[in-house]
Amino acid sequence: MAPSSKLHIAMFPWLAFGHMIPYLELAKLIAQKGHKVSFISTPRNIDHLPRLHPNFVPLITFVRLPLPWVDGLPENAEATSDVPYDTVQYLKKAYDGLAFQMLFSIFLGSTLSIAKPHSAIDDRKKPEDFTVPPKWVSFPTKVTFRLYEILRVFDFVTGNTSDVSDMDRLQEVIRSCEMVVVRSCMEFEPEWLQLLEDIHGKPFIPVGMLPTTEYDNDEQIDTWSQSNSG
């Protein structure tokens, strides 16, 4: 690989280890190709990440950004594992203060389909509206939220507990990115990956399922990923 073709990539995952670990695994895959990665997170989170093999140390740099304090966020809280479930919205507000515009989705393509295309009108108002496929899904599927799943996260999804809803965050990030990298593969869900490209008008690039870890039991990740079963 010619020196001029090498990349320097910045990664800035959401403050949950169920997100940070897949990002780190992707960083290793990128580093194996000779590219450099700046992995951005807060000091405490970086300290709790798995140690890098010496081969990766010259290529993966951890960049520590202090998390802005917001009213309601417990002291020294820097990850979802540090806060009760009902105070995650304060962590999101602090995270917004670190603003970065990029997206590697640790969710499957079918889960990302919950986000409406920018030009569509989303008339889902009640929890029951999320137990059927969104109207922009153009093929038969049983992949939806179960009622008990959406009831658990409905206030976060719709913004009843914060200034900006999780749905609006996801939709805006997808809209503002030039491409989306997805923890998925064409062999597993080709129709969903194609749908996402069609409705959002940009590449959705699968990078494989990536190794799972003990951090994948993060409560928020469990709730959203369960919606892909069945």
Total domains, the chain: 2
Which of 100, 129, 160 is the C-terminal boundary of a domain?
Answer: 100
- Examine the domain organization and report whether 81 and 140 are in the same domain: no
**Could you tell me how many residues make up the chain?**
230
Which of 61, 79, 100 is the C-terminal boundary of a domain?
Answer: 100
Q: Is the model's pLDDT at 227 over the cut of 90? A: no
Residue-wise pLDDT tens digits, 89-147: 889 888 887 765 577 888 899 999 988 898 888 889 899 999 999 999 999 999 999 99
| 180: three-class secondary structure by DSSP | strand
Q: If you average pLDDT over residues 199-228, what whole number do you get?
A: 62
Which of 61, 78, 100 is the C-terminal boundary of a domain?
Answer: 100
Q: Is the model's pLDDT at 186 over the cut of 70? A: yes
Residue-wise pLDDT tens digits, 6-46: 888 889 999 999 999 999 999 999 999 999 999 999 999 99
Q: Residue 9's Cα: distance from chain center in Å?
A: 17
124 CB-near residues (< 8 Å, 6+ apart): 130, 134
Domain holding 69, by residue range, is: 8-100
- Examine the domain organization and report whether 145 and 196 are in the same domain: yes
- Examine the domain organization and report whether 226 and 192 are in the same domain: yes
- Examine the domain organization and report whether 93 and 184 are in the same domain: no
**Torsion angles phi and psi, residue 179, rounded to 5:** -155, 160
Task: Confirm whether 1 is domain-assigned.
Answer: no
Query: 155 with 130: CB under 8 angstroms?
Result: no
- Examine the domain organization and report whether 69 and 111 are in the same domain: no
Task: Confirm whether 179 is domain-assigned.
Answer: yes
- Examine the domain organization and report whether 47 and 80 are in the same domain: yes
- Where does the pLDDT of residue 85 fall: very low under 50, low under 70, confident under 90, or very high at 90 and above? confident
Give the integer Cα–Cα distance in Å for 35 and 33.
6
- Examine the domain organization and report whether 112 and 92 are in the same domain: no
Strands, sheet with 60-64, edge to edge from the N-terminal-most edge strand: 8-11, 36-41, 60-64
Task: Confirm whether 160 is domain-assigned.
Answer: yes
- Examine the domain organization and report whether 112 and 74 are in the same domain: no
- Examine the domain organization and report whether 210 and 162 are in the same domain: yes
Q: If you average pLDDT over residues 171-190, what whole number do you get?
A: 88
Query: 182 with 109: CB under 8 angstroms?
Result: yes
- Examine the domain organization and report whether 118 and 226 are in the same domain: yes
Task: Confirm whether 16 is domain-assigned.
Answer: yes
- Examine the domain organization and report whether 222 and 155 are in the same domain: yes
Task: Confirm whether 149 is domain-assigned.
Answer: yes
Give the integer Cα–Cα distance in Å for 229 and 223.
11
- Examine the domain organization and report whether 137 and 205 are in the same domain: yes
207 vs 221, more confident: 207
Which pLDDT score, from 0 to 100, does residue 218 have? 44
Task: Confirm whether 91 is domain-assigned.
Answer: yes
Give the integer Cα–Cα distance in Å for 125 and 134.
12
Task: Confirm whether 3 is domain-assigned.
Answer: no
Q: What's the whole-number average pLDDT of the chain?
A: 84
Which pLDDT score, from 0 to 100, does residue 212 have? 56
Task: Confirm whether 51 is domain-assigned.
Answer: yes
